[in-house]
Structure 1
Amino acid sequence: MCSGGCAKCLGITLIPLAVLCTLANILLFFPGGEVVNNNEHITDEVWYFGGMLGSGVLMIFPALVFLGLKNNDCCGCCGNESCGKRFAMFTSIIFAAVGLLGAGYCFIVSAVALNSGPKCNDGSKWHYPFENGNYLSNTTMWDLCKSPENIIPWNLTLFSLLLIMSGIQVVLCAIQVVNGLIGTICGDCTCCGGNGAI
């Protein structure tokens, strides 16, 4: 597959991932699916907006750039037919790096949130009753959280989804970095009627 076509496929994949990450982050503001009266009862990592900013908003820019590479006008730049496409592929590397940073941020925030566990009420106060991910392998500890109801599976599911989806985004953006380098050096085989490759 040519570099422009590969970039378009990556862009098509990144957009739904960005939307899903944003939705997962929004759902985390409703612990256990409930509306809370006090924002201090929401797990701190939710307020870092890993899914909304990192894997959401920051991922839209690279995705749109990748989508546009296939249709980018590449014929005629300084007397060289393929240099316009090469410059566009080089620019895509910069946007892929932005995507890597955003998805990496979401990945780290999600990993930290999974390790520390949710903030919940143990019957006397709101705090973090778990440490170092010890609750992940010992489900009997889940009884320490009295409210919100089902907060542990709620947070565990949504932060795990964010971790997986941001990991996929990291891989896709890394692929575009390599693809962009190839497109910058070699041109694109579909450029100018198939004459753009060198």
Structure 2
Amino acid sequence: VVSSPFLSSSSSPSSCRVAMCVGKCSRIVGPCLLALGMLSVAANILLLFPGGTSKYLVEGHISKQARAMPGVWGGGITVLLAATHITAVGWRCAGCSDCGTRRNAFVSAVLSKLALLGAAACFVLSGVGLTDGPLCFYNASQHGRGHGILWDYPFLDNYLYDRRTWSTCLEPEGIVAWNVVLFSLLLLVSATEMVLASLQILNGCLGCLCGFCEGK
């Protein structure tokens, strides 16, 4: 049997090794992004219910960054869309059924770019929410910012390193710690999502060139 001189470049050993790496990477990145996306949504939902009660959401006494819900649409939905596709394609390639997946690799790269933008938006808004501090009920006259007790943002200065100032907020109880923990979690989650989405963009581009399946 005479071998054909017109073998496709995708069947070369180097291309097969890259394709195997692309498939394995997708099967790791996809589930990780799924878990992070769900964690982002959960953290943002908790921000809307300080102390586990809906009272302050109904009254409109929730900080504007929490109400913007960046963890739901930014670090959540856009990331979950990409993660679902990446996971499905990655594990389909494990069985090597329907291996013509350069188109899937391209879609994966596009969705990962959207996930990167969503995670970046979540990171920025969460950072602003952490810096501004929570909306709370406090005595403005004690801080020279007005008269009486009112709902506002009492922390104009950096309050994160001085926990003694956290008692400024009278209601909701423990709102400062609540916001600090959850916004910090969103920052960490969205930063990790950006790293993984960037990795998957590169992975998808390699998949477009070399294929996206193992064992062709």
Say yes or no: TM over 0.5: yes
Please name the residue that 2:160 is paired with. 136
The aligned runs of 1:24-173 (5 Å cut-off) are 24-37=43-56, 38-70=58-90, 71=92, 73-75=97-99, 84-123=100-139, 124-132=149-157, 134-173=158-197
* Structure 2 residues without counterparts, runs of 5 or longer: 1-19, 140-148
Tell me the CA shift for residue 74 of structure 1: 4.6
TM-score, normalising length from structure 2? 0.79
Contact kept in structure 1, 2:136 and 2:169, CA below 8 Å? yes
Please name the residue that 2:21 is paired with. 2
Superposition RMSD on alpha carbons, in Å? Answer: 1.7
Tell me the CA shift for residue 178 of structure 1: 0.9
Kindly provide the amino acid, as one letter, of the partner of residue 107 in structure 2.
T
User: Which of 186, 194, 205 is the aligned partner of 1:181?
Assistant: 205
Distance in 2 between the 1:25 and 1:188 partners?
A: 34
Tell me the CA shift for residue 35 of structure 1: 3.2
Structure showing greater radius of gyration is: 2
TM-score, normalising length from structure 1? 0.86
User: Which of 8, 12, 26 is the aligned partner of 2:31?
Assistant: 12
Tell me the CA shift for residue 153 of structure 1: 0.4
Tell me the CA shift for residue 90 of structure 1: 1.6
Please name the residue that 1:78 is paired with. none
Deviations 1:68-116 (A, max 9, x none): 22215554xxxxxxxx322221221101001101111111110000010
Tell me the CA shift for residue 3 of structure 1: 0.6
Tell me the CA shift for residue 60 of structure 1: 1.3
Secondary structure of 2:171's aligned partner: coil
* Structure 1 residues without counterparts, runs of 5 or longer: 76-83
Aligned length: 183
Secondary structure of 1:125's aligned partner: strand
Secondary structure of 1:41's aligned partner: coil
Contact kept in structure 1, 2:101 and 2:213, CA below 8 Å? no
